[in-house]
Amino acid sequence: MIKVRIPTPLRPLTKGQGEVESAAANIVDMIGSLDATYPGLKNRLCDEKGDLRRFVNIYVNEEDIRFLNGKETSLKDGDEVSIVPAIAGG
């Protein structure tokens, strides 16, 4: 299984959970399957074309998927995925 870290702003969609699990083989499938369980998540992460929004980053372990294989970045058992949106509070 893959652990997916949900950031504070998106936790209302995951019933408050900060960590959920996924068995997806890549990021695009992971977003799809999470959206099936937690409707609305995909819309917060991706634009109308399905591309990752430019103020949201997704990391596989410590690496930003924009610098790996983007949405097609593959996942394997034991990976930790972090969703990290820009925040502005000060």
Alpha carbon distance 63, 25 (integer Å): 17
Residue 42 engages another protein in binding (rule: CB under 8 A) = no
Q: Which of 36, 55, 69, 72 binds another protein (CB under 8 A)?
A: 55
SS3 call for 85 = strand
Query: Which of these ranges, 20-28, 31-39, 57-65, 70-78, lies near another protein under the rule CB under 8 A?
Result: 57-65
Q: Which of 46, 51, 57, 71 binds another protein (CB under 8 A)?
A: 57
Q: Which of 7, 28, 32, 42 binds another protein (CB under 8 A)?
A: 7
Reading the block at residue 54, the tokens are 């430019």
Residue 53 engages another protein in binding (rule: CB under 8 A) = yes
Query: How does DSSP assign 52-81, residue by residue?
Result: BPTTEEEEETTEEGGGTTGGG-B--TT-EE
